[in-house]
Structure 1
Amino acid sequence: MYYSEELVEEVRSRNDIVDVISGYVRLQRKGSSYFGLCPFHSEKSASFSVSREKQMYYCFGCGAGGNVFTFLMEYEHYTFPEALRVLAERAGVQLPEQEMNEEMRREQSLRSRILELNKMAAKYFYYQLRQEGGAHAMRYLKDRQLSDETIHHFGLGYANKYSDDLYRYLKGKNIPDELLAQSGLMQVDEKRGMYDKFWNRVIFPIMDVNGRVIGFGGRVMGDGKPKYLNSPETVVFDKSRNLYGLNFARTARKKQLLVCEGYMDVISLHQAGFINSVASLGTALTSQHASLIRRYTDEVILTYDSDEAGVRAALRAIPLLAEAGVTARVLNMRPYKDPDEFIKALGAEEFQKRIDDAQNSFLFETDILQQSYDMSDPSGKTAFYEAVAKKLVGFEQELERENYLEAVARRYGVSADSLRKMVNSIALKGMNFSRTEPVRSQTARQDKEPGILKSQKLLLTWLIEYPSLYEGARRFITPDDFTGEPYRTVAELLFEQYEAGEKSPARIINHFTDPEEQSKAAALFHSTLAVESEAEREKAFKETLQNIFLSSLERRRKELSPTDMAGLQKLITEQKRVREIAAANFSFQA
């Protein structure tokens, strides 16, 4: 952490979570909590809960959760220091810079200086496009039917034909060579020294979700190679973790994102009104991209080119999106090659119709798979059905598998019963599937949570909801009895708080710096169990306590040396305490 725990806690405590989140989500009070539609996934009924007492939020639909810092980090894509600074400013808390150590100070300084340098370069490219030397670049953009407003909106520019032009400009601003070398704006070799990375190219500034220029893309004017060139990775630019246009698309609040192949596709779509369009940056879609997309939507329309390369890109993207929990559909642009060409020919209204009719990704995969088989030959047709059956086996949920099986049967004119028998036969044989055709569910797979972890989560929730339970529980268990992370760490922090006479689950969340870890920790305070009476609740609590106690004894028994008779005898003695749990009285007072 850059700042002391006491200062972080002061900032958190002076920013009421209900007040902060109300600026983003419409909340309605229900009992002691506030509910609204979750901003992290699409839903029709409110499952997003915000607790003023706990100073935490939790979505019972998608599992997103945390404290006020987590919310800003997830919603605004801030780093923790950025979220801290925003909330400190909101609360009028002064953050001392000296809290950073020297290494942190250097890293933050380098990031800030490169971001400022990128901003200077973006302005310079923007200026050059509007000069006489940039006339042919401007003509290229106009020939692509881009309006002045669109060109301005995306900050498009031009790197002129001299390979040292930007270098001389920045040196005139007293920028040291060392910083220029780290910025990604320059190339360095022994013969030529330092020279511009981009020259004689239309420039596309690449921005992060907060609108900061983190890199550039350049389209060559003329026949030079490569046609498109991107900034190298720097301390502020990672092409596998950023998407072009996401800074605009994230504000669209549409139910899906349109994922394209290139800059011009995104720009053309935005100009036509489809501002929920993004593109990967000169690379195929990655698992990091899929995870980034999942923060904003759970549905994607793949609008890749209709050529063979576009089909391959879609086939690669579908399983990555599925693993991240994102449903994909594939847009058919034929007879046109890409979105830009389609919209120019048929217009935005027809493109929207194609979006509405986009094909389910599984059926798209099977259609492409069918092209590898001779459907006029009986053996070829059988082989195709077998290949599809292998893919159907991959659906873990029986209802989901059945729905897709019936859809496939209708689509390819095969008996659903015959296909079902083939699927069952393959499943029973446990056939090995080809690595080239990975079998995945269309929805994100979730490992079944072990019973002991459920017990631990339920106990932590109860201890937060009913502080009076702590004195009774601590007689039988300690944080060492909790297994795995973040269970044990959360238990340690909670027990420490109660021993100090306080209770602040939101402060516990501060211990974790990664938003995903914060959500996992928040989930430990939001477990539910349906009980109809006080007696049932006490019985469930005792059974939960017994489960954790006995599981801990069993774990310790396995760790004992076979010759440690004293240790074994101690465990046998402790096991008798299970009866004490059953006989104990526990108070459920909030």
Structure 2
Amino acid sequence: MYYPEELVEEIREKNDIVDVISGYVKLQRKGSSYFGLCPFHNEKSPSFSVSPGKQMYYCFGCGAGGNVFTFIMEYENYSFPEALKFLAERAGVTLPEQEYSAEMRKQQDLKGRILELNKMAAKYFYYQLRTENGAQAMEYLKGRRLSDETIKGFGLGYANKYSDDLYRYLKKQGISDELLRESGLMNVDERHGMYDKFWNRVIFPIMDVNGRVIGFGGRVMGDGKPKYLNSPETKVFDKSRNLYGLNIARTSRQKNLLVCEGYMDVISMHQAGFKNAVASLGTALTTQHASLLKRYTDEVILTYDSDAAGTKAALRAVPILKAAGIAARVLHMDPYKDPDEFIKAEGAEAFQERIDKAENSFMFEISVLEKEYDMKDPEGKTSFFNETAKKLAAFEVELERENYIEATAAKYHIGFDNLRKLVNRMALRGAAAAENTVVRPRRQAEVKDDGMQKSQRLLLTWLIENPSLFKTVKEYIGPKDFTTEMYRTVAEMLFEQYEGGELNPAKIINHFMEPEQQREAAALFNTNIRVETKEELSKAVKETIGKIVQNSIEYQTAHLDPADLAGLQQIVMSKRRLQDLEKLHISLD
């Protein structure tokens, strides 16, 4: 739904960024800003800055930055409308009702009713576990060494051994058969009619990232089949797009996430202190899972079972994660079957050591490949190295490929030069692949662009931190002198704010919808260089203005149409401004 800019700005202004972020991060005042440990990456020294003047935050370590909306979106994984609603409620601002079509209202209403029904069922299962009927299930959980705190934290429950128990309870609450059918809580057939999908099972409520119960998993008591059973697909539950435990793991703020196979592995790891563990829900890792993981981490450690099925699952997951831009490592569980068994036998400290030693995914792949060949036979060994060389040739970036050749050569004692020659031969067999592996050296123009972008970022930051500079700067520089599109857009809005008597960088952030654009815009107002005195800063400002004007002249000249007399006149004027800079004195008092 579209909300007027005035309403968005009202909500932002009523949510002071220091107050909001203080609810998530411990902040300490230093000068005009507040600092704390960044909630978006692991760090020991505070580099996360919150500016009450700018109403912005910025991490000088990982580059996360933006306004109060950006923070809530990043931390809570909310969309902009969700963040807006959250902050509106916090500030006591009433949002206008969204207008839905009749069909949209019907679907939204159905989703809401299923979520409420799931919540009701979860409470009932939770209660049943603590009754006499749930004694066997509680004994099972205690036998798995789960504490009362853990059982409560994951909302574990029990479905009675009678197949109509939940059905009768929900009917007493006035729930219609139509809604029960849509919820996935019931089975329906001609012989039995409608009956509980889960009965005589320990129940694991499945929650989305916002903590709403979207489905259930059940572990049978006794020898019934199947051992584990999940909710079917419903209007609120898609197992290929959700991960068990992510509602907790997403706030762990660890540098990686541990991906395992089952509910008990996740629960056992969380109880042992590894609260960054998640599991797919009875299905192999999907591209949708990888996209979901990418929202919270750049690295995944696969902690699958040590059996053949677990190895196969890890091999299948690695390219999916890589395609999503996630680095993967593989934890070796031997001699134990799974994380739960390992932690019970060796403890959390030993498990952490295995995490620290988790194997690079490529090295894991070739170690699995090695088992397919007789390494004592010369022919088998040669075939193994040929296949390994093909995999190495697939690396497009030369430096990365060289590093992996070095690591592989060291592990298999083949010699770096020998392996590199073999890799090059394999690469040459595919001309296209060979072309893709060439790394083009950086041109001088690219290096210059990097320096010019920093100069433009510095000037934008100084304009925010020293508003008195604007009168001087505007005599020499305008938005058109910012030659990067993002920078020029921000400069246009900032110059417009100055002309209108307003200075509001946090409002500028709202212009950009994508998180990466918001980060980049925030960085434009948080760039600094180390200077000791005001005189040094004044000199740096003057030099920066000169660099930007000179770059603008070069840019305009390179893009000038010979017939454009007005453009030629602008270049002449810019050159005069550059000459006038020699006489400029900048005061920062």
Interval containing the TM-score (normalised by the shorter chain): 0.7 to 0.9
Q: Give how far 1:66 is off.
A: 1.0
Instruction: Indicate whether 1:280 and 2:284 are aligned.
Output: no
Cα distance between partner residues in 1 of 2:128 and 2:291: 37
2:578 matches 1:582: yes
Q: Is the 8 A contact 1:481 1:549 kept in 2?
A: no
Q: How is 1:2-13 mapped onto 2 (pairs within 5 angstroms)?
A: 3-13=3-13
Aligned-partner Cα distance in 2 for 1:454–1:363: 38
**Corresponding residue of 1:560:** none
Please state whether the residue corresponding to 1:58 is helix, strand or coil. Answer: strand
Shift in Å at residue 413 of structure 1? 1.3
Give me the whole-angstrom Cα distance separating, in 2, the residues matched to 1:121 and 1:479. Answer: 61
What SS does the corresponding residue of 2:285 show, helix, strand or coil?
coil
Match of 1:94 in 2: 92
- Aligned residue number for residue 229 of structure 1: 230
Q: 1:131 to 1:18 in 2, by over 3 A?
A: closer
| 1:242, distance to aligned residue in structure 2 (A) | 3.5
Determine the C-alpha separation between the residues in 2 that align with 1:191 and 1:547.
81
- Residues 1:544 and 2:540 are matched in the alignment: no
User: Structure 2: 5+ residue runs without aligned partners?
Assistant: 440-444
How far 1:184 sits from its partner (Å)? Answer: 4.5
Give the 3 Å change call, closer, same or farther, for CA 451–503 of structure 1 in structure 2: farther
- State the distance in 1 between where 2:475 and 2:190 align: 68
- Return the alpha-carbon distance in structure 1 between the equivalents of residues 377 and 40 of structure 2: 49
Q: Give the aligned residue type for 2:548.
A: T
8 Å CA contact 2:206–2:244 kept in 1: the answer is: yes
Shift in alpha-carbon separation, 1:64–1:193, aligned structure 2, 3 A? farther
Query: Which residue matches 1:332?
Result: 332
Aligned pair partner of 2:459 in 452, 458, 462:
462
Conservation of the 8 A alpha-carbon contact between 1:542 and 1:581: no
* AA partner of residue 275 (structure 2): I
- CA distance in 1 between counterparts of 2:189 and 2:575 reads 77
Partners of 1:146 and 1:533 in 2: CA distance:
60
Distance 1:192 1:215 in 2: 23
Change (3 A) 1:240 1:584: farther
What is the CA–CA distance in structure 2 between the aligned matches of 1:546 and 1:333, rounded to whole Å?
Answer: 61
Give the stretch that moved more between structures: 474-483 or 499-508.
Answer: 474-483
Kept in 2, the 8 Å contact 1:458–1:528? The answer is no
Alignment partners' CA distance in 2, 1:419 and 1:76: 47
Which residue is 1:561 aligned to?
none
Q: Distance in 1 between matches of 2:93 and 2:183?
A: 28
Cα deviation code 1:435-471 (max 9, x no counterpart) = xxx99x9xxxxxx989769856753652353154488
Cα deviation 1:139-185 (Å, max 9, x = unaligned): 55455454554333321223446666545543433345665565454
Q: What amino acid sits opposite 1:582 in the alignment? A: L
Q: Which residue of 1 aligns with 2:262?
A: 262
**CA apart distance, 1:96:** 1.5
Contact conserved, 1:469 with 1:587, CA < 8 A, in 2?
no
Are residues 475 and 273 of structure 1, via their aligned partners in 2, closer, same or farther at CA, if it must alter by over 3 Å?
closer
* Residues 392, 581 of structure 1: alpha-carbon distance in 2 compared, 3 angstrom cutoff: farther
Once structures 1 and 2 are overlaid, which stretch shifts more, 529-538 or 301-310? 529-538
1:253, distance to aligned residue in structure 2 (A): 5.2
Give the 5 Å matches for 1:519-530: 519-527=519-527
Partner residue, 1:358:
358
Distance 1:220 1:552 in 2: 73
**1:18 matched residue in structure 2:** 18
Q: Which residue of 2 aligns with 1:43?
A: 43
Contact 1:261 1:279 in 2 (8 A): yes
- 1:217 maps to 2:217: yes
Output the CA distance in 1 between the equivalents of 2:106 and 2:555.
47
Is the 8 Å Cα contact of residues 330 and 359 (structure 1) preserved in structure 2?
A: yes
- On the 8 A contact 2:482/2:548 being kept in 1, the answer is no
**C-alpha spacing 1:272/1:51, structure 2 compared with 1 (3 Å):** closer
Q: Quick check: 2:483–2:555 contact (8 Å CA) kept in 1?
A: no
- State the shift of 1:316 in Å: 3.3
- 8 Å contact from structure 1 (residues 209, 247) kept in 2: yes
Supply the distance in 2 between the matched residues of 1:335 and 1:138 (Cα, whole angstroms).
Answer: 29
Give TM-score, length-normalised by structure 1. 0.78
| Contact 1:482–1:491 (CA under 8 A) maintained in structure 2 | no
Question: Measured at CA, do residues 552 and 220 of structure 1 come closer, stay the same or move farther in structure 2, by a change above 3 Å?
Answer: farther
Could you tell me whether the CA contact under 8 Å between 1:457 and 1:487 is conserved in 2? no
8 Å CA contact 2:263–2:279 kept in 1: the answer is yes
1:234 is aligned with what amino acid? K
Cα distance between partner residues in 2 of 1:350 and 1:84 = 44
Could you list the per-position Cα deviations for residues 403-444 of structure 1 after superposition, in whole angstroms to 9, with x for gaps in the alignment?
54433222111212323444566667765669xxx99x9xxx
Percent identity of equivalent pairs = 62
Indicate how the Cα distance of structure 1 residues 588 and 183 shifts in structure 2: closer, same or farther if over 3 A, else same.
farther
The structural deviation recorded for 1:337 is: 2.1
Structural mapping, 1:333-348, within 5 Å: 333-348=333-348
Shift of 1:367: 0.9
Aligned residues: 568
Equivalent pair of 1:457/1:525 in contact (CA under 8 Å): no
Shift of 1:264: 1.6
SS of equivalent to 1:98: coil
Q: CA offsets per residue over residues 337-369 of structure 1, 9 Å max, x none? A: 222333445554543443343323332122122
Other structure's SS at 1:15 match: coil
Distance 1:460 1:408, change over 3 A: closer
Q: Shift of residue 40 of structure 1?
A: 0.9
Aligned residue type for 1:541 = I
TM-score by length of 2: 0.78
Q: Deviations over 1:222-274 (max 9, x none)?
A: 54458432342535x45444331233334555554322111121123334443
Give distance in 1, aligned partners of 2:211 and 2:157: 16
| Partners of 1:241 and 1:493 in 2: CA distance | 39
Q: Structure 2: how far apart are the matches of 1:138 and 1:5? A: 54
Give yes or no for contact 2:556–2:571 (8 Å, CA) kept in 1.
no
2:329 alignment partner, SS class: strand
Deviations 1:3-62 (A, max 9, x none): 543343233224332343344334455554444332211234443232222111122332
Q: Is the 8 A contact 1:452 1:547 kept in 2?
A: no
- Contact 1:66–1:521 (Cα < 8 Å) also in 2: yes
Tell whether 2:248 aligns with 1:244. no
Letter in 2 for 1:579: K
Cα gap change, 1:133 to 1:577, in 2 (>3 Å): same
CA distance in 2, matches of 1:554, 1:186: 70
What is the rounded CA distance, in whole Å, between the counterparts of 1:263 and 1:349 in structure 2? Answer: 21
AA aligned opposite 1:355:
I
**Aligned mates of 1:499, 1:190 — CA distance in 2:** 75
